[in-house]
Structure 1
Amino acid sequence: MKAIMMMDYGVSEALQEQEIAKPELKENEALVEMYVTTLNSGDHLILTGAFRNVVPLRLPHILGIEIAGIVREVGEKVTRVKPGDRVIGLLPTGGGYAEYVAVDETGLAVIPPTLSFQETAALSAVGLTAWQSLFRFGNLQSGQRILIHAGAGAVGHIAVQLAKQHGAYVIATARAHNHEFVRQLGADEVIDYNTTDFAESVSPVDMVLDMVRDGGETERKSYTVLKDGGKLLSLVSPMIGQNERIRGIEALFVRPQPSNSDWSSLIRYVQEQKLKVHIDRIFPFTAKGVAEAHQAGEASKKGQLLICRNV
């Protein structure tokens, strides 16, 4: 089968196309034929080496945290899925940049035939991250105020919708050209982070969701806008939980865990048109296409970047 291999840490040029054997199944795994995978921020952090201590790897490695596809085979102890099921999958250390991937059945959720692979692929990790950040780690309540950094991005644009649906007052940061997009998602306030210092313009909030990789500057400033006893949720700072607690603020690193109940909620929201996954660009499943997706992921974008077979 074809796979796009990460040969070393560094830039997207470290990705190469290779022919390798299909994975052998363990008794609790399913073999999924990949139709759609994504450019997830976790993939990029692994590629660059930023998560080297969080996700140790043996190189060469196949990236791809999120997939959508069809189950082709199952291990003898698999009960949750069967051959022919359309599924989304979460792979904690990757594997999705390949034509076939073996996934533990707990990392899979069946999707209905009325939804496409493209609109649901990002629910496997990106949607799950937004949901669990807000409701499992953050315990967001109606009436609370939340600041969502990078509100136009993959996780951000889903988090804005979910927070608003649950009755929160939503403030988001985004580039000026994405402001109307973020307002349409439901944000009550949108701040241009290129021209305005959010630390000086945001009234105190109960929660901050930080997805900005800027050496910790956004993280440090976020403390200043949090109420005493608030929550700072980070997707980019694995060691944030070891920080000295300031004014009772709870700082947590969010790493999503497979959950069929959470996936079911997200799928239901999409079916009921309460949640829309915005697709920014689609790239072909080639070494060049995957490299271009990673390069695009470093630039300003809105929504999700997908990598699809047969584009």
Structure 2
Amino acid sequence: MKRIIQENFGGIEGLQIRTVPKPRVTPFSALIKTSYVPILPWDWKGEAGELQAIHPVRLPTTIGYSFSGIVEEVGALRNQKLVGQAVFGANPGGTASEWINSQTPPIIFPVPQGVSLAAAATIIGGADTAWHAINEVLQVNPQDRVLILGASGGVGQFLVQLAKRQQAVVVATASQVSQGFVERLGADEVLAYDDVNFEKRLRALGRITKIVDAAGSAELLATVLHQLAAVDVVSLAQLDFTDLKSDQTFQFNNGRIALKTYAHIANLISSGELTAHVQTVFPFEQVIAAQLQTKQVHVRGRNLLVFNESAVMDRAQF
């Protein structure tokens, strides 16, 4: 089978595709034929060695954290009913591989009826991060006016929708080319950060109670905070930020949600209460081009790598 390997901290260009033996099934295994792996900033930051302080890795390592796919075989101590089931999940040992040997039962979840494998691949590292920020850290409520930075991306798309579910007023930043997309997500107002009138529009916003930073741009956050008064900031993309006024607070928080909440999020997508947007699906052999495009271009939703396209087609209507 083929696997995408990071052999050194040389950045995106250092990725290699290697042929390795198919995993051996152990009594605790759920052997999954991978369908999709999301392209996350976590990947290219890790490939550049930027995350060693919070997530040290030993090289070489398989990239990727989350996935969706089909369970093809299980070990003697796993539930035999998993065989043939569509699942999404995470694997700390890497997911950018044609096969994943999941040996930790809680880290795979069934994909509900009506949710595509592509949509399911956006939940971990996307919807779950947004859920944690909106519902657990900031506890957004109808009295809030929330500003979301980076509202068009794989996390931002869910931040907007989840804040609106809490009946908050949602103001969002995005590029001019993504403004319409963010408006369709439900934002009450969208400010284009690449518009010459951006700072003027910030000053005219009035009171903002909470900010969620999914953009990861210190320059953008500084520009925003210089124009606003008292506000609490939670960043999902910057570990530290000190350019604050005395009545402003900042914290980095990218924590986990309860396991049962993953099923709840998947059911919200199934019912249409949340929409998972996928912009582009790349063959996994194009991983370098896919990561470069995702990093450099204004993405609307999540970009994915596809593995085992025949398995995806077989399950297209489940």
> Which TM-score band (shorter chain)?
0.7 to 0.9
1:203–1:112 Cα change, 3 Å: same
Distance 1:28 1:245 in 2: 49
Decide whether aligned partners of structure 1 residues 77 and 202 sit closer, same or farther in structure 2, where only a CA change above 3 A counts.
farther
SS in 2 for 1:205: coil
Is the contact between residue 81 and residue 110 of structure 1 (CA under 8 Å) also seen in structure 2?
no
1:308 corresponds in structure 2 to 306
How far residue 69 of structure 1 moved from its aligned partner, in angstroms, is 0.8
2-structure distance, mates of 1:292, 1:147: 32
Superposed CA offset, 1:163-215 (max 9, x none)? 1122010000011121111111110110010121365343231211112233x
**1:42 counterpart SS class:** helix
Shift of 1:260: 2.6
Cα distance in 2 for residues equivalent to 1:26 and 1:90 = 18
**Retained in 1: the 8 A contact 2:216–2:236?**
no
Which stretch of structure 1 is more off in the superposition, 296-305 or 230-239? 230-239
More deviation, 244-253/35-44? 244-253
Query: 3-state DSSP class of the match of 1:131?
Result: helix
Q: 1:183 & 1:231 partners in 2: Cα distance?
A: 24
Distance in 2, Cα, partners of 1:191 & 1:22: 48
Who is 1:292 aligned against?
289
What is the TM-score of this pair, normalised by structure 1? Answer: 0.88
CA distance in 2, matches of 1:80, 1:248: 56
Distance 1:176 1:76, change over 3 A: same
Conserved 8 A contact 1:129-1:254: no
Q: Deviations over 1:80-139 (max 9, x none)?
A: 983332111123x45111012233222221112432101111112211111111111111
1:267 match: 266
Q: Matched residue pairs, number?
A: 304
When the two chains are superposed, the root-mean-square deviation of aligned CA atoms in Å is 2.6
Deviation at 1:258, TM superposition (A): 5.4
Measure how far apart 1:239 and its partner are.
Answer: 4.2
Cα distance in 1 for partners of 2:14, 2:254 equals: 25
Alignment of 1:30-41 (within 5 A): 30-41=30-41
Provide the rounded CA distance (Å) in 1 between the counterparts of 2:251 and 2:120: 27
Match for residue 279 of structure 2?
280
Distance 1:212 1:282, change over 3 A: same
More divergent stretch after superposition (151-160 vs 16-25): 16-25
- The runs of 5 or more residues in structure 1 that have no matched partner are none
Deviations 1:216-267 (A, max 9, x none): 2233345446664x43111122345xx6996465433222425332212211
TM-score (norm 2): 0.86
User: Aligned residue for 2:207?
Assistant: 204
Cα distance, 1:146 vs structure 2: 0.6
CA distance in 1, matches of 2:206, 2:169: 11
Closer/same/farther in 2, CA of residues 57 and 9 from structure 1, 3 Å limit: same
